[in-house]
Amino acid sequence: MLFDRYGRPLDNLRITVTTACNYNCVFCHREGEETNNTQLTPDQITDVATAAYSLDIRKFKITGGEPLLREDLPEIIHSLKSIGKGIEVSLTTNGYLLEDKLNRLVDKGLDRVNVSLHAVSPQTYVAVTQVKGQDKVLRGLSLAKDYSLPVKLNYVLTKANVGELEKVLDYASKMGFNVNLIELIPQGKGKEIFDKLYVPAEEVLPLLESKSSRVEVRPLHSRPIFKLETGIQVEVIANYCNPFFCAGCTRIRLTHDGKLKTCLNRDDNLVDIRNTLMDRSHEKLYKLRESIIKANFLREPFFKMNGYGATTYDGKITCPLRKIAQLSLSHEEKKKK
């Protein structure tokens, strides 16, 4: 397994298969990528994943844009699953097309799915996504349950939908789905509306605490996990001003147009593999491996500890240590004792 200069392992690859989307979420970060029509072929995606597999990466997360818009998504999943043993392929989707397409995805070996559900009430759902899709998404989610496919709901916390959190948790509990409670990230449209819509996770911690029997911390992004009394769990994904989030980062990204991206928040240190992806020689796999090794070397925590607070790698933002970071820290300390 590869480790970067900060001792962080690299165990997963997040793959943007398209930037096209049938939604228009008011805060979309677009995975920190430029939007255009370019997309990689299933073979190109599989070549990168094969090189990653040879470096012990076993987890592949497909994202977009909206990945379900790609007609060849079943082929991509099948091809990723065929690379070798122990591979987990998951998908992040707005869920609108799930009821029409899930059958073939499961058939090709999809292991689990994250479905974005920022509200249960139709009005708030439309205010956030700008699409009247909530009924269709709920039908897709029921189908996923019927297939016994593991589901996580992605709920992005903002001022527009903070009032929906309890309803989302009630729905998730009823369905037996775990929840990712994601803080707003100031990227893409998320940057434009950050000051207007950002709600720190700390504001909803009392609610989560009141519903939980215990709290654990997942190594990935040092995410606090609230174990709700209803039996589901809520993972808090709080990136902003949180050095513990970055300290637990174990991923790189493959962009829709053939670049390796070391961090959602950065595009100044991309590794361009477009030429290699066109290469037809037997050295292609070797070159892709070298590119992944290079991208791994370039990985760097976006937020780092700075005395008693956090600072970005370039020193442009500094902030005091957040309660959510302290939660991860105190958990680490308890484990050591």
In whole angstroms, how close is the CB of 301 to ligand SAM at the nearest point? 18
Residue 54 three-state SS: helix
Number of helices followed by number of strands (H, E) in the chain: 13, 15
| 92 binds ligand SAM per the rule CB under 6 A | yes
| CB nearer to ligand SAM: pick between 184 and 234 | 184
* Alpha-carbon torsion (250, 330, 176, 182), positive or negative: negative
Amino acid at residue number 235:
E
How near is the Cβ of 321 to ligand SAM at its closest, in Å?
21
Stretch that binds ligand SAM, among 27-35, 163-171, 220-228, 246-254 (CB under 6 A): 27-35
User: Which CB, 93 or 222, lies closer to ligand SAM?
Assistant: 93
Stretch binding ligand SAM (CB under 6 A), from 59-67, 119-127, 263-271, 325-333: 59-67
Cβ 337 to ligand SAM shortest distance, Å:
34
Neighbours of 316 (CB within 10 A): 7
31 binds ligand SAM (CB under 6 A): yes
Q: 116, 90, 107: which is closest to 21 by C-alpha?
A: 116
The interface mask with ligand SAM, positions 159-198, x = CB under 6 A, is -----------------------x-xx-x--x--------
* Cβ proximity to ligand SAM, 116 vs 312, nearer residue: 116
Tell which one of 4, 33, 47, 66 touches ligand SAM (CB under 6 A).
66
Q: Does 63 bind ligand SAM (CB under 6 A)?
A: yes
**Where does this chain touch ligand SAM (CB under 6 A) — which range of 90-98, 102-110, 226-234, 253-261?**
90-98
Distance CA 88, CA 170 (A): 28
- Cβ–Cβ < 8 Å for 163, 121: no
Instruction: Write out the DSSP string of 1-18.
Output: --B-TTS-B--EEEEE--
H helices of 82-204, in order, are: 98-107, 122-129, 134-146, 165-175, 189-192, 194-197
Min separation Cβ 94 and ligand SAM, Å: 4
- 66/300 with CB nearer ligand SAM: 66
Q: Of 89-97, 133-141, 216-224, 280-288, which part binds ligand SAM (CB under 6 A)?
A: 89-97
Q: Decide if 184 contacts 27 (C-beta within 8 A).
A: yes
Beta carbon of residue 156, minimum distance to ligand SAM (angstroms, whole number): 4
Note whether 4 binds ligand SAM by CB under 6 A: no
The count of C-alpha atoms lying within 13 angstroms of the C-alpha of 207, restricted to the half-sphere facing its C-beta, is 16
Q: Is the dihedral of CA 182, 7, 14, 309 positive or negative?
A: positive
DSSP-assigned letter for residue 113: E
Cα–Cα dist 254/40, whole Å = 10
Q: Which is nearer to ligand SAM, 158 or 233 (CB)?
A: 158
Angle between helices 98-107 and 134-146 (to 10 degrees): 30
Residue 116 as a binder of ligand SAM (CB under 6 A): the answer is: yes
Rg (CA), the chain: 19
In the region spanning residues 136 to 155, those forming contacts with ligand SAM, defined by CB under 6 A, are 154
By CB under 6 A, name the binding residues for ligand SAM. 21, 27-29, 31, 63-64, 66, 92-94, 116, 154, 156, 182, 184-185, 187, 190
